[in-house]
A = this chain, B = another copy of it.
Amino acid sequence: MKLIALGKQLNFLREIDRLKSVVRQSPLLDKSRKENSAEHSWHLAMYALLLHEYACSPVNTNRVIQMLLLHDVVEIDVGDFPIHTGSSSELQAEQESKAAERLFGILPPQQGNEFLALWQEFERAETEDAKFAKALDRFQPLLVNVFTGGGTWTENSVSFEQVLSRYGPVIKRGAPLLWTECEKWVTQHFAEQGSGTLGQAS
- List residues of chain A with CB under 8 Å of any chain B CB: 2-3, 6-14, 16-21, 28-30, 32, 35-36, 38-39, 41-43, 45-47, 49-51, 54, 62, 65-66, 69-70, 107, 111, 143, 147, 177-178, 181, 201-202
Contact = CB atoms under 8 A, between A and B. Distances in A.
- The majority secondary structure among interface residues of chain A is helix
Interface-centre pick from A8, A17, A177 (highest chain B CB count, 10 A): A17
A111 B42 CA distance: 19
B50 A69 contact: no
23 contacts: A2-B177, A6-B51, A6-B181, A7-B201, A9-B50, A10-B201, A11-B201, A13-B47, A13-B143, A14-B29, A14-B201, A16-B43, A20-B28, A20-B43, A21-B30, A38-B39, A41-B42, A42-B45, A42-B69, A45-B45, A45-B69, A46-B70, A65-B69
Contacts of A177: 2
Contacts of A43: 13, 16-17, 20, 38
B6 A54 contact: yes
A138 to B, nearest CB: 15
A46 B16 contact: yes
Contact of A50 (B19, B21, B111): B111
A147 B10 CA distance: 10
Contacts of A16: 43, 46
